[in-house]
Amino acid sequence: MKKTKILAALAATMAVGATCAFAANPFADVPADSWAYKSVVTLANSGILQGVDGTHFQGNRNITRYEAAEITAKAMAHADRANAQQRAVINKLAHEF
């Protein structure tokens, strides 16, 4: 499975259990009607994603292995808030990176 698909799965699973209200959109290039909006905002508000320059997400570009490892490390730091399915995805990412 490609790294980007694994990271997308992490974003999706971490967003599924979110119970808090969403804060303002942290990225100017992620429209509220985007299929990824809730996942991106949830992960940004959790401190797992920070975007490219703090105001842009650039979701159409490929990420580097370093960026994938950084996202994985941040997700691992928040694993105590994850459910079993989410922890399984985080562990799979940790093993790969």
One digit per residue, pLDDT tens: the chain, 97 residues?
555 555 666 665 555 444 444 567 889 999 999 999 998 988 888 888 888 888 899 999 999 988 888 888 888 898 888 888 888 988 898 888 7
pTM, 2 dp: 0.63
**Residue that is written with structure tokens 């429209």 in the block:** 31
Q: Tell me how far CA of residue 35 lies from CA of 38, 56, 73, 81, in angstroms.
A: 8, 17, 25, 24
Residue type, 43: L
